[in-house]
Amino acid sequence: MSSRQGLIREQLYIYRYYIALAAAATFYCGRLYRQFFTVPKKFRHIPAIPYYDLWKSLAGNEPLLKRTQRLVFPILSKGNGIYLNKFPFDWTVYVANPILVKTVLYKPEFATKADAVFAYFPEESAQTHMFGQDNLLASNGDSWKRQRKIMNPAFHRSMPVGVFTNLLPQVFQVTEKADNNTISASKLSKRLTLDAIGKAAFDFNFGSLEDENSVWVKKYELTFKGFMDVIPIIYPKLDYIYRAISKGRRERYNAAFELTKLLDNLADEKRKSLMEKRSTASDNRRQSDKDLLTLMLEAEMAGEGTWSKKELRHNMALFFLAGHDTTSHALAHCLYELAVNPDIQEKARKEAMNVLGTELIDVSPTLEDCKNFPYIDMIIKESLRMHAPFNEISVRVPHNDVELGGVLIPKDTMVNVDIEALHYNPDIWKNPEQFDPERFAEGGEHYSHEGVTWVPFSGGSRICIGINFSMMEQRVALAMLLRKYTWKLPESSKHKNGIITDLPLNFAPDSLEVQFTKRY
């Protein structure tokens, strides 16, 4: 009898164990569900995109515009152009109402940027080593003002048109060596803008147009690929395990540190050179011809502020990566839009020839010439409306409860701008999926809008400091290419009815090829 009771008791223990285990699992699953799928109580007055629907869209590589039209547009009217989204892991309020976007960009209560991007990565990560958490993009308050004070003169004085024009003959050579003069617009733009940013920012030649497989080009490509690795983005603290088991990951990680060392060496050499020239007063170059690093160090020496070695490196890396990739993809999209809109391409060509002459020889535009390309400027702006490099600005965080368009935003909430929803909203833009540069003509549609409706470079006091640099580079490249070539998509292109992206981002895919035909 006792053995039977013991058996029953043992079975009861096992039963209770499984009950407890099931209860714990239920509790944990419920907690995970609430964490990921349930909108927190403080946000339930704001219309939200279902978390499952968002990640289903991302997993299926649904194009950004289609996702915006399907998930965002239906709920915008419910929240006065404001909605809630958990992307990637934090609940964020997104704004797509032009009046409210202006408030977010210009009002002091939204001036503080969140540290979400750079503070997310651990100290030993390549991202932290390269960009830090104290760069111009991420800093706030006195730190931001001090850095901006040093950088402003450099970006206002430097407009290295000569650097850009000197690179275009190499672009012509690369194009004409390609099979059937057909080449990836994305790869061509990357090679041009990498060499341009190297020379204009640091007076360093990456040699990408001469040899796309050169050492530093490969280091840069590995670094960028490393920043796109999924595991370190989702689980950054597990990156050391990933590096231990993956040779490719180690190569990408190490490339970032080698590239960072290059930036440190360039800064040290430039500082030493400037100190020597300062003692001899031997640098007689025009301000507009100097590279950005030189101008920033000169501003420091003139008493505009001081850099720590790390701060200088972090900002050099930030401008290098942001300046290269955003401009290269913007230029690639311009080439695409002109390829599929031959009438617009021809009108732009006539403008370039009116300014630079009709003689069938290569002509390099001057800084003054570049002020006389209004239609090419309109093309660039319309392309940036349709193909903004990013879909968000840097996250803002109000430190007090604030009302935005009649909607209460609790303090310490992350607030952002949905650029795609703003740029493609049919209530703001007529036929938003149509490429129409005339929107940006004087007195055109864009200038009749209330609030802010075009933000590829953000806006307000925190607007991208390199906006004029990027626009000038695209202006020069397009003007010289338009005089030299006509171009179209190859017959076999899969992009004839719109760009098919490789990632759920706005970056131009490598498969985006164009076919050039020489005019002379």
pLDDT > 60? residue 276: yes
Cα-atom radius of gyration of the chain, to the nearest Å?
26
pLDDT > 90? residue 163: yes
Give me the mean pLDDT over the 241-252 stretch: 93
* Per-residue confidence (pLDDT) for residue 124, from 0 to 100: 84
Q: Are strands 513-518 and 182-184 parallel, antiparallel or unpaired?
A: antiparallel
* Per-residue confidence (pLDDT) for residue 92, from 0 to 100: 95
Q: Is 334 annotated as a binding residue?
A: no
Helix axis angle, 309-340 to 185-202, nearest 10°:
150
* DSSP structural state of residue 115: S
* Per-residue confidence (pLDDT) for residue 120, from 0 to 100: 72
Structure tokens that stand for 54 in this block: 């968002």
- Residue 46 CA to residue 30 CA, distance in Å, equals 23
pLDDT > 90? residue 119: no
- Residue 485 CA to residue 502 CA, distance in Å, equals 28
Structure tokens that stand for 404 in this block: 């935005």
Q: What pLDDT band is residue 155 in, cutting at 50, 70 and 90? A: confident
Structure tokens that stand for 216 in this block: 């530093």
Edge-to-edge strand ranges of the sheet holding 91-95? 82-86, 91-95, 414-417
Give the model confidence (pLDDT) of 81-90 as tens digits: 999 999 767 8
Mean of the per-residue pLDDT values of the chain = 89
Q: Among candidates 328, 341, 294, which has minimal Cα distance to 151? A: 294
Degrees to nearest 5, angle at CA 319 with 314 and 321: 95
Helix axis angle, 141-157 to 309-340, nearest 10°:
60
Question: Cα–chain-centroid distance for residue 408?
Answer: 30
Contacts of 480 (CB under 8 A, 6+ apart): 165, 168, 352, 362, 363, 364, 365
* DSSP structural state of residue 70: I
- Residue 31 CA to residue 47 CA, distance in Å, equals 22
- Residue 198 CA to residue 200 CA, distance in Å, equals 6
Edge-to-edge strand ranges of the sheet holding 513-518? 182-184, 513-518, 485-488
* Per-residue confidence (pLDDT) for residue 5, from 0 to 100: 64
CB 114 within 8 A of CB 414: yes
Question: Cα–chain-centroid distance for residue 448?
Answer: 27
CB 265 within 8 A of CB 255: no
DSSP assignment of 385-398, as one string? HHT-S-S----B--
Question: Which has more confidence, 114 or 386?
Answer: 386
* Per-residue confidence (pLDDT) for residue 257, from 0 to 100: 95
Question: Which has more confidence, 191 or 15?
Answer: 191
pLDDT > 80? residue 20: no
Contacts of 132 (CB under 8 A, 6+ apart): 118, 138, 310, 311, 313, 314
* Per-residue confidence (pLDDT) for residue 427, from 0 to 100: 96
Give the model confidence (pLDDT) of 312-366 as tens digits: 999 999 999 888 989 999 999 999 999 999 999 999 999 999 999 999 999 999 9
CB 520 within 8 A of CB 176: no
Coil, strand or helix at 458: strand
Question: Cα–chain-centroid distance for residue 171?
Answer: 24
* Per-residue confidence (pLDDT) for residue 299, from 0 to 100: 85
Contacts of 227 (CB under 8 A, 6+ apart): 126, 127, 256
Range of lowest pLDDT (158-167, 276-285, 465-474, 510-519) = 276-285
- Residue 64 CA to residue 57 CA, distance in Å, equals 9
Helix (H) or strand (E) holding 414: strand 414-417
CB atoms within 10 A of CB 301: 13
pLDDT > 90? residue 180: yes
Taking each continuous run of H as one helix and of E as one strand, the counts in the chain are: 19, 8
Question: Which has more confidence, 60 or 167?
Answer: 167
Structure tokens that stand for 248 in this block: 């490719």
Length of the chain: 520
- Residue 346 CA to residue 107 CA, distance in Å, equals 42
Q: Are strands 91-95 and 414-417 parallel, antiparallel or unpaired?
A: parallel
* DSSP structural state of residue 286: -
Give the model confidence (pLDDT) of 427-469 as tens digits: 999 999 999 999 999 999 999 999 999 999 999 999 999 999 9
pLDDT > 80? residue 60: yes
- Residue 367 CA to residue 370 CA, distance in Å, equals 5
Q: Among candidates 375, 391, 364, which has minimal Cα distance to 477? A: 364
pLDDT > 70? residue 16: no
Percentage above 90 pLDDT, the chain: 65
* Per-residue confidence (pLDDT) for residue 154, from 0 to 100: 86
Helix (H) or strand (E) holding 91: strand 91-95
Helix axis angle, 215-227 to 247-280, nearest 10°:
120
Give the model confidence (pLDDT) of 372-393 as tens digits: 999 999 999 999 999 999 999 9
- Residue 43 CA to residue 90 CA, distance in Å, equals 12
* Per-residue confidence (pLDDT) for residue 288, from 0 to 100: 64
* Per-residue confidence (pLDDT) for residue 26, from 0 to 100: 58
